[in-house]
Amino acid sequence: MEKTKVYFKNFIGTSYEVGTEVGQWVLSTPSLLKQVLLPPNAYPHDKFTKITDLLDRYCQGINEEIKGFADTIGVSSEQALFYAMTYLERGCSLMAVLPSKSKSGHTLMARNYDFNNEMEEMCFAFTNIKGKYRYIGSTLNLFGRCDGTNEHGLAVCKASNGVPVGNFEGGQKAGATGFSFWVVVRSILENCKTVQEAIEWTMSAPIGYNMNLMLADSSNKIALLQCMDGHKSYKLLDEYSEEAFLSVTNHALLEDIKPYQKMIIENSVVRNNKIVEVFTGKKQLSKKDIKTLLSTSYPDGLCCHYYKEFFGTLRSMIFDVNDKTIEMTFGSPQVNEWQTFSVGALEMQEVEVLLPQEKAKPDFYKIS
């Protein structure tokens, strides 16, 4: 059993002011400082100009935020690792149900986020930037977001579609030039009120990451959007749809995207089949049913403790878009408590969470 820290933060003010708050946090956490910076003059200036121009168009304010961060810690904005990781030349399980399938009569979305804790800043934050929608969600590379829900009841989370794309060792080279997922998720939370608006934004934006995006809103719409090598497609359900839930793990499910898939890891198929089995086996689902699925060890459920192998459950989350809340555990849901968060300021603190350590069986990574 190992332990790690989770940070709860509030980022409130103008874009520049929020950047200074991020900078102050990083200065007080030396181990984090080493993770988020490049050496001076390491990032080509022409690429820096391209990504800042794109961000000004699709995620306004973030360049000013990074400027506040850079000024606070005394570096050039070009040294922010976020830029190098975001402009592209990680396993998770996602699900959403409509009110007709939910015992509470609410639209629900849920996810397990599986990765390696040493490559995450493990921060959950309330963000309130002037001129943007307020939201809560998990940060990634300081300035990106991995999941969340905003003040209008729009919730979003993602999973990698196939082998993760990125500028890192072992990452797949992007099949299209564009953003990584953490810009997509953040932009949706800050600028969109509904699933339809989120779909329109994502379908128009340049995206280099191969991702599965799950969306849900308080007008009782849910959607799955898949992106592979720049090709995009989506499936939208509402109260008039014959189907009442959506699920996805780390492979393509939509017919328009399947032709571009290069490989499927078997555990992704097993996990998605388990979600479908549980969801079809019950006329209506409770939050307790979903928690059990998220907390049960693979292959009977979705929980994994393979942290050293970059496949350990770091967050389990249930989004209630009608209540605008996220009920979640940090670390393994088997040994950590569930907490509920609303869209508002958090109690700023650091909390230790438990990470049981296990090793996956060889067939877990079998490719089909």
286-318 tens-digit pLDDT: 999 999 999 999 999 999 999 988 899 999 999
Among 201, 108, 115, residue whose Cα is nearest residue 149: 108
Q: Rounded to the nearest 5°, which phi and psi values hold at 274?
A: -65, -40
3-state secondary structure of 206: coil
Q: What does the pLDDT read at residue 89?
A: 41
Q: Rounded to the nearest 5°, which phi and psi values hold at 152?
A: -95, 0
Torsional class of 116: left (φ above 0), alpha (ψ -120 to 50), beta (otherwise) = beta
Tokens 């049981």 appear where?
356
Q: What does the pLDDT read at residue 164?
A: 52
Q: What does the pLDDT read at residue 87?
A: 54
- CATH 3.60.60.10 placement within the chain: 92-355
Cα distance between residue 202 and residue 56, in whole Å: 16
215, β-bridge pairs: 156, 223
Contact by Cβ (8 Å): 339, 312: no
Contact by Cβ (8 Å): 142, 121: yes
Contact by Cβ (8 Å): 179, 211: no
Cα distance between residue 291 and residue 110, in whole Å: 9
3-state secondary structure of 320: strand
Percent of the chain with pLDDT over 70: 95
Cα distance between residue 150 and residue 308, in whole Å: 33
Q: What does the pLDDT read at residue 72?
A: 97
Among 219, 226, 100, 91, residue whose Cα is nearest residue 163: 91
**What's the Rg (C-alpha) of the chain?**
19
CATH architecture of the domain with range 92-355: 4-Layer Sandwich (3.60)
Q: How many CA atoms lie within 13 A of 4 on its CB side?
A: 22
Structure letter (DSSP) for residue 323: T
Tokens 């979903």 appear where?
290
Contact by Cβ (8 Å): 346, 123: no
Element (H, E) at 161: none
Distance of CA 335 to the CA centre of its chain: 22
Q: Is the dihedral of CA 20, 154, 106, 94 positive or negative?
A: negative
Element (H, E) at 239: none
Q: pLDDT (tens digit, 9 = 90+) per residue, 72-125?
A: 999 999 999 888 777 544 569 999 999 999 999 999 999 999 988 877 889 999
Cα distance between residue 20 and residue 224, in whole Å: 35
Cα distance between residue 65 and residue 14, in whole Å: 8
Q: Give, rounded to a whole angstrom, the gap between the first and last alpha carbons of the chain.
A: 32
Q: What does the pLDDT read at residue 45?
A: 82
- Residue ranges of the chain with per-residue pLDDT less than 70: 87-91, 162-176
